[in-house]
Amino acid sequence: MRKHWMRKAFKFFLIAIVAIGVISFVVMSLWNWLIPTLFGRPLITYWQALGLLVLSRILFGGFRGRPGPPPQHWRRRILERWEQMTPEERDRFRQGLKECGPFGSRSEPER
């Protein structure tokens, strides 16, 4: 059992390394094909492309856990609040939602 787990971990690690290498090569190739021609910037090396990927991940992607949509904790909280509301409060809430939307019957803002 332990050998099977270690084999899977090694395969995952190997695939991740190869994927990072291929993506870095693609970034380097695209940069060297487009950027010098369009903006007059210098060519970059493979390691600079890898650094650019890491930097963009830090600045724009963050270090989230698993890929996919974020967990929807807000939905659970709203359902809990909904269950605690009285029927009158629920009606008032529904009425507020109808007036709040883009097609609601809100009055024009004063100027």
In a domain? residue 18: yes
Along the 111 residues of the chain, how does pLDDT read in single tens digits? 667 888 888 999 999 999 999 999 999 999 999 999 999 999 999 999 999 998 988 888 765 655 556 667 788 888 888 899 999 999 988 888 888 766 655 555 554
Determine the pLDDT at residue 23. Answer: 93
Query: Which residues neighbour 107 within 8 Å (Cβ) at sequence distance 6 or greater?
Result: none
Name the domain count of the chain: 1
Determine the pLDDT at residue 45. Answer: 94
Q: DSSP letter string over the chain?
A: -HHHHHHHHHHHHHHHHHHHHHHHHHHHHHHHHHHHHHH-PPP--HHHHHHHHHHHIIIII---SSSSSPP-HHHHHHHHHHHHS-HHHHHHHHHHHHHHSTTS-PPPPP-
Determine the pLDDT at residue 103. Answer: 61
In a domain? residue 88: no
In a domain? residue 30: yes
* Structure tokens, 25: 């090569």
In a domain? residue 73: no
Determine the pLDDT at residue 104. Answer: 58
